[in-house]
Amino acid sequence: MARKMNQHIHFLTLIIAIVIGFVLTRSATGQYLIGVGSYDMTGPAAGVNMMGYANLEQNTAGIHFRLRARTFIVAESPQGARFAFVNLDAGMASQLVTIKVIEKLKSRFGNLYTEENVAISGIHTHAGPGGYLQYLIYSITSLGFVQQSFDAIVNAIEQSIVQAHNNIKPGSILINKGDVENAGINRSPSAYLLNPAEERARYPTNVDKEMTLLKFVDEASRKSVGAFSWYATHGTSMSRDNKLISGDNKGAASRFFEDWFTSKNRTSSTTISKSSATTDIGKLIKKAQRIKATGGTSCGRKTSQGFKVRKNDGSLFVGAFCQSNVGDVTPNVLGAFCIDSGKPCDFNHSSCHGNDLLCIGRGPGYPDEILSTKIIGERQFQKAVDLFTSATEKLSGKIDYRHVYINFTNIEVELDGNNKVRTCPAALGPGFAAGTTDGPGVFGFQQGDTEINELWKKLRDVLKKPSQYQEDCQKPKAVLLSSGEMFEPYAWAPAVLPIQILRLGKLIILSVPGEFTTMAGRRLREAVKETLIANGNGEFDHETRIVLAGLTNTYSQYIATFEEYKHQRYEAASTLYGPHTLSAYIQEFGKLAKSMAKGEQIPKGPSPPDLYSVQLSLLLEPFGDSPPPGKKFGDIKKDINQPKSRGSFTKGDKASATFWSANPRYDLLTEGTFAVVEMLKGKRWIPVYDDDDFSLFFKWKLDNTSLHSLATIEWEVPKEARPGVYRLRHFGSSKKTKDTPNEYYTGASSAFTVS
């Protein structure tokens, strides 16, 4: 009996050894378990203040294209180490969002996905709905917490992770890198020049041009399932006056990349000769003239999902463009100019005759911000395609992660020579109020200000007079708002921050909860690499890749270098925890890197607060809509603007129609669409563009005379549009009162032709 037991034990030991060997071999040869997912997180498209510019008048009024949460999951084996990385088409991550997402994942998966191995990173678009962060200073312009914004983001993150988890399969990950040209310049070059000359001499430019891309390949089919890239440029191609929800240039790059990969090519393979073109188009025009607007009709809650061009069944290719050390990088690459004179702005302060409001950056499509967004998106997309198609280097090796919470308001930092300094409670300086060349702030302030006039001091002191300790600690920053000392009605600024390192073989991802400037990011990356090499027993070397994932897991504004901090431009004035903030990050990330290199664990640290129960919301909910007497929702108010001279639309023309509608906040139509372009094929209308497309715009407003809601659909005919008969369709949802059930409707315009 004992002999048989020993035989069984030896057999089981052999099986375990084989399995372990198989897992290790797979990891060593570049095969992991991989999964990707994507989900709609567009949020409320009417009357909600946008997060980014802090402009009280910038409230959502439609959709440029939809926002998404995109996720990749990598694992060594079904039971082995894994992590999930989520890229959000949002301004930034939110501590409260992270807390609630982790709670939902725990209830669904147990301890498989936790705060330790989940990273949630924002692309930094300034054109998404706000009101989803828990600290008061970030929700003032949104009139407090916006439950609908918050729920849309939390749900999308959860669903994208679930989708990626369900898609997990054996696969390989290839890595490639290359420079993106002319997609970002430094918006605070005078501050960058304060960094040591010998340090600056090591880099060819004052911004990081490098894009790092991961390509995920299904082992069984040998087909690619996704790509995630990191590159630094601000999401400010869309201006502070824009009111359409948009993923800005990185969201645009994702849309272009995903459409390119899935070959959603709508160009016609049929050519029309000159002799027959007029006759054929003439027939199309006559056919279109017979097709009138449908009028509003009832439909189901999910009807619009059936009209989506890209139906999310979990099989779509996922292409994500992630943010990096973006702090001082603008996509407005033509430079900043005075709007009164057309001359370049003051170099040191980015103002015009002392007025910060007159200095505005120009994108490559100036004065067309949509065109600028497209161009900067295309430049990132084109480089990603180049890296994607030429990628050959496989990642292999260990998957690992480290995560810790740190109270950043009082960290003792040891500088060179045993000189010890401390970080400070959060505070903002007057340069913060000046804004940037991407979005100027308040009149009377300039970037670089280190003094505050007496009037502003008195107004500041009404809110909270900074302590003497705070004023001394933050120097040379003058404290305009001591947000770290303000706790009524709840905390104004974060104190406890998460930092995180994710390892995928020789790729290291640094999850940082803010916007590092170019040089600050370089210093952090180099310090972490040196620590890994020094403590890794040969496991890490100079070929180890370090990428910085900005605006991840929570948000704490900017991180400038010590030298840049002295200048107190916008980035330095927004560096919350004082002049030694970057040194604190380098020190604490060093501890994380050392623990990872040595295979040691590190204490979790103090948990951040969950302020969900104390959030205030002053934004009114829509209280019920009705169309004008004799009209139905979905009826046409203004039909297609038929071309007068040609009788047919051509490339670059804009077709539009306006419908009687209801507030789009009644139902976000998640994974659906408010707007569709349909093409007549035989006797059937086929959806060919929707509100996920760059060429289609859904615009909402209240009619000034009747106070009824209007939805305008505009379609800028793209070059790949096929000749044929088209029409515009609108979907929406209404309520008679805020307590009655939703009623869903649709309506279509008259037909028109494209030649």
Q: In this predicted model, what pLDDT tens digit does every residue of 686-701 receive, in sequence order?
A: 999 999 999 999 999 9
- Contact between residue 216 and residue 34 where contact means Cβ atoms under 8 Å apart: yes
**Given this model, what pLDDT does residue 14 score?**
43
Three-state SS at 603: coil
**Given this model, what pLDDT does residue 5 score?**
46
pLDDT tier, 12 (very low <50, low <70, confident <90, very high otherwise): very low
What average pLDDT does range 630-640 have in this prediction?
97
**Given this model, what pLDDT does residue 679 score?**
97
What average pLDDT does range 723-730 have in this prediction?
97
Between 221-225, 281-285, 310-314, 632-636, the lowest mean confidence (pLDDT) is in 281-285
Three-state SS at 63: strand
What average pLDDT does range 160-168 have in this prediction?
98
**Given this model, what pLDDT does residue 644 score?**
66
**Given this model, what pLDDT does residue 405 score?**
98
pLDDT tier, 15 (very low <50, low <70, confident <90, very high otherwise): very low
- Contact between residue 217 and residue 31 where contact means Cβ atoms under 8 Å apart: no
What average pLDDT does range 389-418 have in this prediction?
95
User: Within 10 A of 469 (CB to CB), how many other CB atoms are there?
Assistant: 11
- Contact between residue 355 and residue 346 where contact means Cβ atoms under 8 Å apart: no
- DSSP of 682-732, one letter per residue? TTEEEEEEETTSTTEEEEEEE-TTT--EEEEEEEE--TTPPSEEEEEEEEE
pLDDT tier, 76 (very low <50, low <70, confident <90, very high otherwise): very high
**Given this model, what pLDDT does residue 704 score?**
76
Residue/partner pairs of 286-290 with CB below 8 Å, 24 or more apart: 287/680, 287/725, 287/751, 288/725, 288/750, 288/751, 288/752, 288/753, 289/751, 290/751
**Given this model, what pLDDT does residue 21 score?**
45
The half-sphere exposure of 219 on its side-chain side, counting CA atoms within 13 A, is 15
**Given this model, what pLDDT does residue 282 score?**
81
C-alpha to C-alpha distance for 65 and 338, rounded to whole angstroms: 31
Does residue 707 have a pLDDT over 90? Answer: no
Does residue 232 have a pLDDT over 70? Answer: yes
pLDDT tier, 417 (very low <50, low <70, confident <90, very high otherwise): confident
Q: Give the number of residues written for the chain.
A: 755
Q: What is the pTM of this model?
A: 0.94
| pLDDT tens for each residue of 643-695 | 766 779 999 999 999 999 999 999 999 999 999 999 999 999 999 999 999 99
Does residue 235 have a pLDDT over 50? Answer: yes
* Distances 395 to 452, 480, 721 between C-alpha atoms, Å: 52, 47, 40
**Given this model, what pLDDT does residue 272 score?**
32
| pLDDT tens for each residue of 517-534 | 999 999 999 999 999 999
pLDDT tier, 266 (very low <50, low <70, confident <90, very high otherwise): very low
Show the tokens assigned to 746: 């649709």
For residues 418 and 400, the model is more confident at 400
- Contact between residue 437 and residue 575 where contact means Cβ atoms under 8 Å apart: no
Would you give the distance in Å from CA 359 to the centre of its chain?
A: 26
For residues 36 and 27, the model is more confident at 36
Does residue 267 have a pLDDT over 90? Answer: no
Does residue 749 have a pLDDT over 80? Answer: yes
| pLDDT tens for each residue of 453-488 | 999 999 999 999 999 999 999 999 999 999 999 999
Does residue 18 have a pLDDT over 60? Answer: no
| pLDDT tens for each residue of 178-198 | 999 999 999 999 999 999 999
- Contact between residue 53 and residue 240 where contact means Cβ atoms under 8 Å apart: yes
Does residue 6 have a pLDDT over 60? Answer: no
User: Within 10 A of 220 (CB to CB), how many other CB atoms are there?
Assistant: 8
C-alpha to C-alpha distance for 566 and 31, rounded to whole angstroms: 48
| pLDDT tens for each residue of 351-381 | 999 999 999 999 999 999 999 999 999 999 9
Does residue 278 have a pLDDT over 50? Answer: no
Does residue 277 have a pLDDT over 60? Answer: no
DSSP label of 366? T
User: Within 10 A of 601 (CB to CB), how many other CB atoms are there?
Assistant: 9
C-alpha to C-alpha distance for 711 and 747, rounded to whole angstroms: 11
**Given this model, what pLDDT does residue 30 score?**
63
**Given this model, what pLDDT does residue 738 score?**
86
What average pLDDT does range 413-430 have in this prediction?
93
**Given this model, what pLDDT does residue 618 score?**
96
pLDDT tier, 29 (very low <50, low <70, confident <90, very high otherwise): low
Instruction: Tell me the one-letter amino acid at 511.
Output: S
